[in-house]
């Protein structure tokens, strides 16, 4: 088996592969990538037993075959070769080596048997649909910041993807929460997606799927079963187990009686929060919001390090409110706003706040208050 490939094409595949493989594993084969050449195509497969990625590679092939080699070692070699270089890979079965040559550089890498490489068991997918890449990108990008990283509540360590109904219209919805903030993002329901079983996509999978969506406009094929989910475009297939757990009833924490409306420029708001929270030494970096007629006062008072205040002009005409939040959470919410102003809805100093962009309620965010 001989493969001739362009360095940048292989680097793209290896970058993804080395983020999946287990470096400190008691199972050596899980550190490897499986490279298969057949029918004038090269496929590169990596897995950590929970997620499997198959990348198709454009290359010139002589003979067919398969070999596994340490993914991180191959990635580092390819990364350090010259931009635009050609690579020649040849599998020497007798020596059990993968010979790699590029220009005046040559490498001989140890291999492991392809027969030992674990394949993810095939599944019967009960729901299959395709979704515009922009819609899937938006669902994941705008919800992933709210995922939890606490192992104790493992069922929150991902994005809950399901079919729901809003104002009498069915939508495809992504929800993430860590108990302190929540993101709920909707898009038009693709054809045949109404049969989707609600699944929790793990954090690692969310990141990998998000990485294949940059710079493409094609539709993404999605297949879902109660325990697996698969995403495919023309060059990459990602198959993942889903989190085995029940996502909580998030609708109960979304405020429905927040009548006090504040509209503010999201970028100005985020920068002001960042400035005043600089003096706060505590981990939560609490910021107090004091709202009055068309005015927002951001205030931090830290006995150990000092105090800071900044005033912003906002659109607000309701009752005076004083409410505290984690500065980082406010900045994360504001960063989701792209075109219009951020619109916050408050009830009282002890109730969660709701935020959306302008009049667009297809993406809403909830943040819990804190004592200041």
Question: Would you identify the CATH topology of the domain 254-367?
Answer: DNA Polymerase III; Chain A, domain 2 (3.10.150)
Pairing of strands 321-326, 342-346: unpaired
Backbone CA torsion sign across 367, 138, 208, 193: positive
Superfamily, domain 127-252: DNA Polymerase III, subunit A, domain 2 (3.10.150.10)
Nearest 5°: phi and psi at 104? -95, 5
pLDDT at 217: 86
pLDDT at 350: 93
Question: Would you identify the CATH topology of the domain 2-116?
Answer: DNA Polymerase III; Chain A, domain 2 (3.10.150)
Q: Which residue has the tokens 């993430």?
A: 176
With b for 16 or more beta-carbon neighbours within 10 A and e for fewer, the 302-339 pattern comes to eeeeeebebebebebeeeebebbbbbbbbbbbbebbee
CB neighbours of 10 closer than 8 A, spacing ≥ 6? 57, 78, 87
- CB-based burial label for 356 (10 Å; 0-12, 13-18, 19+): buried
Two domains, one topology: 127-252 and 254-367? yes
The domain locations on the chain are 2-116, 127-252, 254-367
**Rounded Cα–Cα distance for residues 118 and 96 (Å):** 19
Instruction: pLDDT tens for the chain, 372 residues: list them.
Output: 999 999 999 999 999 998 898 877 788 999 999 999 988 889 999 999 999 999 999 899 998 999 999 999 999 999 999 999 999 999 998 899 999 999 999 999 999 999 999 998 887 899 999 999 999 999 999 999 999 999 899 999 999 999 999 888 999 999 999 999 999 999 999 999 999 999 999 999 999 999 999 878 899 999 999 999 999 998 999 999 999 999 999 999 999 999 999 999 999 999 999 999 999 877 778 999 999 999 999 999 888 888 999 999 999 999 999 999 999 999 999 999 988 899 999 999 999 999 999 999 999 999 999 987
pLDDT at 312: 96
Give the three-state DSSP class for 105.
strand
Give the three-state DSSP class for 277.
helix
pLDDT at 123: 78
**Whole-prediction pTM:** 0.93
């Amino acid at each position: 088996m001989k493969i001739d490939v362009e360095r940048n094409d292989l680097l793209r595949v290896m970058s993804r592969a080395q983020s999946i493989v287990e470096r400190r594993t008691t199972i050596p084969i899980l550190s490897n990538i499986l490279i298969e050449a057949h029918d004038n195509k090269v496929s590169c497969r990596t897995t950590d037993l929970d997620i499997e990625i198959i990348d198709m590679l454009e290359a010139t092939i002589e003979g067919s075959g398969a070999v596994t080699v340490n993914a991180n070692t191959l990635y580092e070699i390819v990364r350090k070769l010259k931009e635009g270089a050609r690579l020649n890979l040849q599998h020497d079965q007798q020596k059990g080596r993968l010979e790699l040559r590029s220009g005046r550089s040559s490498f001989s890498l140890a291999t492991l048997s392809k027969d030992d490489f674990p394949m993810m068991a095939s599944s019967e997918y009960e729901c299959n649909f395709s979704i515009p890449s922009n819609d899937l990108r938006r669902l994941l990008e705008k919800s992933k910041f709210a995922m939890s990283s606490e192992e104790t509540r493992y069922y929150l360590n991902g994005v809950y993807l399901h079919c729901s109904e809003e104002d009498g219209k069915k939508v495809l919805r992504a929800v993430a929460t860590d108990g302190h903030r929540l993101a709920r993002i909707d898009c038009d329901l693709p054809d045949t997606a109404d049969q989707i079983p609600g699944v929790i996509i793990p954090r690692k999978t969310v990141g990998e799927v998000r990485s294949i969506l940059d710079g493409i406009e094609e539709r993404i094929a999605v297949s879902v079963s109660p325990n697996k989910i698969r995403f495919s475009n023309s060059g990459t297939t990602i198959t993942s187990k889903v989190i085995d757990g029940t996502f909580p009833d998030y609708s109960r924490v979304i405020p429905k009686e927040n009548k006090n409306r504040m509209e503010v420029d999201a970028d100005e708001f985020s920068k002001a929060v960042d400035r005043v929270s600089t003096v706060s030494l505590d981990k939560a970096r609490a910021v107090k919001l004091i709202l009055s007629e068309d005015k927002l006062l951001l205030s931090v008072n830290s006995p150990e390090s000092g105090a800071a205040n900044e005033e912003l002009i906002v659109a607000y005409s309701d009752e005076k409110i004083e409410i505290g939040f984690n500065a980082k959470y406010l900045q994360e919410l504001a960063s989701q706003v792209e075109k219009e102003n951020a619109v916050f809805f408050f009830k009282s100093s002890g109730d969660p706040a709701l935020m959306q962009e302008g009049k667009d309620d297809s993406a809403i965010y909830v943040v819990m208050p804190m004592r200041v």
